[in-house]
Amino acid sequence: MTEAERIIGTPEVGDDARPEPVEPKGRRRIAVLLVVATFAYLLDLGTKMLVVAFLEHRPPIDVIGDLLRFEAVRNPGAAFGFGEAFTIIFTCIAATVIVVIIRLARKLYSLPWAIALGLLLGGALGNLTDRIFRSPGVFRGAVVDFIAPAHFAVFNLADSAIVCGGILIVLLSFKGLDPDGTVHKD
């Protein structure tokens, strides 16, 4: 079946009616990717704005006793505060991830992959925005973290989106589902 036949369908034998065009399912998947990415990005950005406005330079807020609190922390490094001297490298990595996702989106026909890549894209954009626009300067900015579980690192919603997207990608890979919608068995 040619690409054109897949998109518009093929008429039945003796069918004089013209087939109605069918929207390629890849476009719908790209829309899902963009909606998920936009939602994750805006949710992350909004929560960080609230944290900076109402929580920074104030005592932490206990949410669930000693198990979870909100505490404003500026993190120039990566997860768990590692690599504080490599902020520019994390900025480049986030930018590269964004470019790779955008390039991969052209071949995207899988809904679960669209969700996973949307989470990754939204999270990467959220943290990249901090790296570009927050102090101490462009490409050296510290990420605003605020979710502080007991005995664990402080993180933000962008980090959560990245982790959830990554876990979903691992699960999809184990199931053999590719971004183009094909399933393979190894």
Long-range contacts of 62-66 (CB under 8 A, 24+ apart): 66/150
Catalytic: 16?
A: no
Question: Which of the following is catalytic: 15, 16, 44, 159?
Answer: 159
Catalytic: 180?
A: no
| Token representation of residue 86 | 């490599």
Residues 158 and 4: their CA atoms lie apart, in Å, by 39
**DSSP structural state of residue 158:** H
Q: Are strands 68-75 and 143-149 parallel, antiparallel or unpaired?
A: antiparallel
Taking every pair of Cα atoms in the chain, the longest distance, rounded to a whole number of angstroms, is: 76
Beta bridge partners of 75: 143
* H/E run at residue 147: strand 143-149
Residues 93 and 81: their CA atoms lie apart, in Å, by 16
Question: Which of the following is catalytic: 15, 16, 44, 145?
Answer: 145
Residues 159 and 123: their CA atoms lie apart, in Å, by 6
Q: Which residues are catalytic?
A: 145, 159
